[in-house]
């Protein structure tokens, strides 16, 4: 779901691609689109727009260039120091396929041969020149959310999402949250980020969040203003879904229709039966011991609203994704 929010305050890109901080906190979930009529009127630099999550360390350091520049030290046997945040730190440029349309929500994004999940808030402009920010994410990111606020001295923009790992009891796993930036010419690229372990995968209880933050302070009409861009990735565990059961119920709590689906084969839309008052979705999951555990959600049917069922299904990469099934 994407809502559009318009604001007359200007937004700018971030100042300094290395100026991000990593903190832990609990995020919110959802999604939307932003439109800013006056954005881009002031000088802009590369802006933090998201995160690229990988299961392996993203090694972008240009060691060959570093060694060439320090050849004398190597030959003489002197010690050398490989530092982060230097001119030798490389970037992984994304390929953006816009064949489906110019709207960011229609883009297909890849980071070369590097596999991973992404949550992004790329910037585009509409026909009137207004700056548009739409959150897009890969299948392994569930419940994306965008929050935007404007105050007298600060504008803030936050995008977040959750990565659900299958709780398989096989021990700790590490994921790397790599910051993604967008340059003024539209180039999107990732930098090397930090790794996080969510602890034991025996249960659904462990959760953790990593946040990337970048700030830009500028002067507008003689007053100092600050813009804050924040990206939050929450990590959580879920038992592997094995069955999705959809019950259509009448007002007397009687079953009108019951269908058992493979979680990966639930249709995109479901039509309510005549007399259906609500739909009950039961997700059967298997814990590491093989025991079946069920969770249930209920949706009251309302004719005047578009409604969706939340369906969870496993991916081949060990993550779990959420599918929103429309109730016609």
3-state DSSP assignment of residue 67: helix
18's CB contacts (< 8 A; 6+ apart) are 85, 191
Closest residue by Cα to residue 141 from 170, 172, 180: 180
Closest residue by Cα to residue 80 from 63, 101, 102, 57: 63
34's CB contacts (< 8 A; 6+ apart) are 4, 5, 7, 131, 132, 133, 134, 146, 148, 157
CA distance 294 to 14: 45
CA distance 173 to 200: 8
Grouped pLDDT means (10 residues each) for the chain, 328 residues: 31 29 33 37 68 92 64 58 60 90 84 94 80 86 85 84 91 90 92 86 84 84 84 94 98 97 97 96 95 96 87 95 94
316: left (phi over 0), alpha (psi -120 to 50) or beta: alpha
Q: How many CB atoms lie within 10 A of CB 267?
A: 13
Radius of gyration (C-alpha) of the chain in whole angstroms: 23
- The answer to whether the Cα torsion of 308, 234, 107, 313 is positive or negative is negative
**Residues pairing with 259 in the sheet:** 246
- Token pair for 143: 């419940």
Instruction: Kindly list the domain boundaries of the chain, sorted by start residue.
Output: 4-238, 240-327
């Amino acid at each position: 779901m994407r809502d559009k929010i318009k604001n007359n305050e200007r937004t700018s890109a971030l100042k300094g691609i290395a100026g991000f901080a990593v903190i832990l906190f609990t995020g919110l979930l959802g999604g939307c689109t932003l439109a800013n009529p006056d954005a881009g009127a002031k000088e802009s630099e590369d802006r933090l727009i998201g995160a690229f999550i990988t299961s392996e360390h993203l090694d972008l350091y240009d060691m060959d260039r570093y060694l060439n520049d320090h050849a004398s030290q190597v030959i003489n046997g002197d010690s050398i120091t490989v530092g982060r945040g230097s001119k030798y730190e490389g970037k992984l440029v994304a390929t953006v396929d816009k064949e489906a349309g110019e709207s960011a929500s229609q883009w297909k994004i890849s980071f070369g041969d590097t596999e991973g999940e992404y949550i992004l808030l790329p910037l585009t402009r509409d026909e009137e020149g207004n700056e548009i920010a739409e959150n897009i994410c890969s299948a392994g990111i569930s419940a994306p959310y965008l929050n935007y606020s404007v105050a007298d001295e600060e504008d803030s923009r936050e995008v977040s999402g959750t990565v659900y790992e299958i709780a398989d009891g096989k021990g700790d796993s590490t994921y790397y949250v790599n910051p993604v930036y967008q340059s003024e010419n539209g180039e999107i690229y990732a930098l090397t980020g930090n790794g996080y372990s969510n602890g034991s995968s025996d249960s659904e209880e462990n959760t953790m969040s990593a946040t990337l933050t970048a700030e830009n302070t500028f002067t507008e009409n003689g007053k100092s203003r600050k813009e804050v861009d924040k990206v939050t990735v929450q990590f959580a565990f879920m038992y592997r879904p094995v069955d999705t059961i959809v019950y259509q119920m009448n007002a007397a709590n009687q079953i009108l229709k019951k269908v058992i689906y493979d979680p990966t084969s639930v249709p995109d839309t479901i039509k309510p039966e005549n007399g259906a008052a609500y739909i009950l979705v039961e997700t059967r999951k298997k814990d590491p011991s093989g025991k079946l555990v069920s969770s249930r959600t209920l949706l009251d049917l309302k004719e005047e609203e578009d409604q969706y069922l939340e369906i969870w299904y496993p991916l081949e990469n060990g993550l779990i994704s959420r599918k929103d099934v429309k109730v016609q």
